[in-house]
Amino acid sequence: MEEEHAITTYGETPMTAANVRREFRLFHAILGLGLLIMSLQTLVHALRELHGDHRHLALVAGLEAAGAVLFLIPRTIRWGGFILLVVLLVGFAEPLTRGELELQRLVYAAGVWFLMRTFPQRVDQHGDHGAAQ
């Protein structure tokens, strides 16, 4: 086992490669699960409380939920991320036409883009992801 050297320190915690990988996994899980839960809540709201009158909302929420599930799976993170980016960026741009600014969607999209671009490309034989690039 090779010795890991501290990249830098943040407070008292050394930022070793293992710590960075763990932080990436945690960020990936929180962002993906958060988007999945929010999209499922929207889907339930569209189907139950709006009595099916807003089928387009249910369709978009279902698409976002499918993207979030794919985003959570390491091998399909880029496919899921692409779906999420389309939904989030359209969801950011559409309210702009009415003069409304929905910045949270842009923040979520930035997190998805960041993880898509930095998530490891491969999984080694132990199931451990390589270091973020």
- Domain ranges (residues) in the chain: 16-118
Other Cβ atoms within 10 Å of 21 Cβ, number? 16
pLDDT of residue 120: 72
Question: Is the pLDDT at 129 greater than 60, yes or no?
Answer: no
Tens digit of pLDDT for each residue in 91-110?
A: 999 999 999 998 999 999 99
What angle separates helix 55-72 from helix 17-44, to the nearest 10 degrees? 160
pLDDT of residue 75: 93
Please report the DSSP string for 60-123 in residue order. Answer: HHHHHHHHHHHHHSGGGHHHHHHHHHHHHHHHHHHHHTTT---HHHHHHHHHHHHHHHHS-S-B
Say what the pTM is. 0.78
Mean pLDDT rounded to a whole number for the chain: 84
Categorize the per-residue pLDDT at 53 as very low, low, confident or very high, splitting at 50, 70 and 90: confident
